[in-house]
Amino acid sequence: MTTVQENTLNDTDTDTGVDTDTGDAAPARARAWWRSATIYQVYTRSFADSNGDGIGDLPGVRAKLPYLAALGVDALWFNPWYPSPMADAGYDIADYRDIEPAFGTLADADALIAQAHARGIRIIVDIVPNHCSDRHRWFLQAVDSEPGSRERSRFWFRPGRGEDGSQPPNDWRSIFGGPAWTRLTASDGTPGEWYLHLFAPEQPDLNWSSPDVRAEFEDVLRFWFDRGADGIRIDSAALVTKDPDLPDLSSNPDPHPYEDRDDVHEIYRAWRAVAESYGGDRALIGELWIPDAERFARYFRPDELHSAFNFPYLCSAWDAAQLRSVIEQTLAVHARVDAPATWVLSNHDVDRHVSRYGRSDTSFGLDRREHGRPVDVGLGTRRARAAAMLTFALPGAAYVYQGDELGLWEVENIPADLRQDPIWRRTGGSDPGRDGCRVPLPWSGAAPPFGFSPDGAPADPWLPQPPAWSGLTVEAEDGDLRSMLELYRAALRIRRQDPALGDGTLTWMPSGESVLDFLRDGRFRCVANLSPTDIALPPHEDVLLQSTDLAEGLLPPDATVWLRVAD
Ligand code: NOJ
Ligand code: CA
């Protein structure tokens, strides 16, 4: 196992297990790394393909570690990298203790972790506790076992309803469309029990009242912590436990039979104990879509998770009043439990924010992807620049989804026969799904595969890249001071160097409607102009960074500026 080397760039790094800590702790060092980190999300399949099969892989990521270090990120979160039939892009895990062969080997992961640590970059792995793959050994054993067996007790098997059991056990629907139940059929054609899957049929839900399940996952956590993982992203964290009576949703059961149930917290208390046994700087980060702020905060009680993704911020329209209300509520909720806020603009499940902010409705909902509506990419890009600077100035940790730093937009015209997302298939195409934000990154060159795969690669990238991305490659943006990439690099450099940024609090300054204006620590001021007119800058000593050229000292619409102000 490796530990993280002190990164000389990272003044606010607060790791407790750092090898070269000098011990001369500045105040900002008193708090843990995950409270301030900029976390870069690596969607391995689409990051960089080292061997030309059209699929990104871990050697590809290793080769790009210098790029990621120079970008200035503190940690990498990898979407599931385990062996998987890929019914849901790896969120259907067949073996939690190995690496998907298309991505590489366990030795590749070990080398990647060690090399990232040597550069001061931490590693977060994605664990999926709600369900596994229907190819996982446990599910294969369960299918081969009798109803009522220990093997079946690890999942949710039930007889069907109706005289011949031909109706599902209840009325739950899959989050990906269609029923949440699939019936087994024996090899001789005899129909059997049904099993629950809140997502695709290839993702059977695990039953967390089984002691086997609890012990297994605690062991999986140890497996990855032992290999050097610094954090765990917990998939679908609030869906994991179920009401054992499995009541129909149409009977309006209260509490909800599978969302945010009270008994889920016991699981994370046990996981926290595992994390703490590694010395206190391993982070647990929940994927929680919980609208109720009080319920959300319960997950960050001192013996539970460390943080979670801020989806209300991601879903907010590009509107100052809405954003301010989300920011205020986020900070208030997190302050009560002393958890760091996080700020997320995009991820592998949502439309890229350049496209969202270029539509007439700039808000987002998982159930309304708005594909096919006009997108003003220029406007979306301008707002994305302003949003990135706003995001990096807010108190807490920030996430960057790969390609955000290049200003990639949502690819809406992927041909039907190339689409892979089960959401698209299971909704008969009525929901376009998530392929459009998962298109392989453009690194260099004037045409696809844009350096994603090596020259002369035998296979095309697994999803087609738009030829128009030729201006958005790393090569094209590198050194162009007007590019998104250089904006991200500059912003992250300041974020690392300025102790005012990252963890802490903010002070709102009086501002016009449609303007977000706040101080961090008294001398760092962020002003985001979401109004349609230029605004005057407050008195300042220096302009640290701007998302758009200032117009004769005025801040134009859809622009953010960072200022150094007098005490
Ligand atoms: C949330 C993940 O982010 C998403 O990609 C996945 O499909 C579901 N959970 C199911 O695992
Ligand atoms: Ca590959």
What are 356-392's pLDDT values in tens digits? 999 999 999 999 999 999 999 999 999 999 999 999 9
Instruction: List 398's β-bridge partners, or say none.
Output: 38, 343
Place of tokens 């707002």: 383
CA 88 to centroid of ligand 1, rounded, Å: 8
- Nearest alpha carbon, ligand 1 atom 2: 235
Q: Which ligand is nearest to the CA of 437?
A: 1
Find the farthest-apart pair of alpha carbons in the chain and give their distance in angstroms, rounded: 80
Does the pLDDT at position 14 exceed 60?
no
Q: 39 — phi, psi (to 5°)?
A: -110, 125
How sure is the predictor about 19, in pLDDT bands with cuts at 50, 70 and 90?
very low
Does the pLDDT at position 7 exceed 70?
no
Does the pLDDT at position 27 exceed 90?
no
Q: Tell me the pLDDT tens digit for each residue of 152-208.
A: 999 999 999 999 999 999 999 999 999 999 999 988 999 999 999 999 999 999 999
Average pLDDT over residues 440-454: 98
CB-based contact 130:246 (threshold 8 Å): no
> What's the pLDDT at 522?
82
Active site residues: 235, 287
CA 236 to centroid of ligand 1, rounded, Å: 7
- Binding pocket residue ranges, ligand 1, CB within 6 Å: 88, 91, 128, 199, 235-236, 287, 348-349
Q: Which ligand is nearest to the CA of 421?
A: 1
Tell which atom from ligand 1 comes closest to the C-alpha of 349: 5
Tell which atom from ligand 1 comes closest to the C-alpha of 131: 11
CA 304 to centroid of ligand 1, rounded, Å: 21
Q: Which ligand is nearest to the CA of 44?
A: 2
How sure is the predictor about 5, in pLDDT bands with cuts at 50, 70 and 90?
low
- Nearest alpha carbon, ligand 1 atom 4: 349
CA 199 to centroid of ligand 1, rounded, Å: 8
> What's the pLDDT at 28?
38
Report which secondary-structure segment, H or E, holds 389: helix 377-393
CA 134 to centroid of ligand 2, rounded, Å: 25
Q: Tell me the pLDDT tens digit for each residue of 114-162.
A: 999 999 999 999 999 999 999 999 999 999 999 999 999 999 999 999 9
Which tokens go with 311? 């989806």
Q: Tell me the pLDDT tens digit for each residue of 495-536.
A: 999 999 999 999 999 999 999 999 998 899 999 999 999 999
Which tokens go with 33? 């790394």
**Percent over 70 (pLDDT), the chain:** 95
pTM of the predicted model, to two decimals? 0.95
Whole-angstrom CA distances from 446 to 356, 450, 471, 476, 484 are 26, 7, 8, 9, 18
Q: Which ligand is nearest to the CA of 45?
A: 2
- Nearest alpha carbon, ligand 1 atom 6: 91
Residue, of 29 and 121, whose pLDDT is higher: 121
Amino acid at 333: V
Average pLDDT over residues 232-247: 98
Residue, of 151 and 26, whose pLDDT is higher: 151
Alpha-helical segments (H) within 232-319? 264-276, 293-297, 311-315
- Nearest alpha carbon, ligand 1 atom 10: 91
Residue, of 20 and 273, whose pLDDT is higher: 273
How sure is the predictor about 17, in pLDDT bands with cuts at 50, 70 and 90?
very low
74-78, 244-248, 495-499, 549-553: segment of lowest average pLDDT: 549-553
Cα torsion 175, 179, 180, 181 to 10°: value is: -160
Q: 472 — phi, psi (to 5°)?
A: -115, 15
> What's the pLDDT at 364?
96
CA 477 to centroid of ligand 2, rounded, Å: 24
Q: Tell me the pLDDT tens digit for each residue of 285-331.
A: 999 999 888 899 999 999 999 999 999 999 999 999 999 999 999 99
- Nearest alpha carbon, ligand 1 atom 11: 91
> What's the pLDDT at 11?
35
Cis geometry, peptide bond prior to residue 466 (ω within 30 degrees of 0): no
Residue, of 206 and 337, whose pLDDT is higher: 206
- How far apart are alpha carbons 34 and 482 in whole angstroms? 30
Tell which atom from ligand 1 comes closest to the C-alpha of 236: 9
Average pLDDT, the chain: 94
Tell which atom from ligand 1 comes closest to the C-alpha of 91: 11
CB-based contact 484:405 (threshold 8 Å): yes
> What's the pLDDT at 23?
33
Name the residue among 108, 132, 97 with its Cα closest to residue 220: 97
How sure is the predictor about 251, in pLDDT bands with cuts at 50, 70 and 90?
very high
Candidates 347, 349, 437: which one to mutate for ligand 1, based on the most atoms within 8 Å of Cβ? Answer: 349
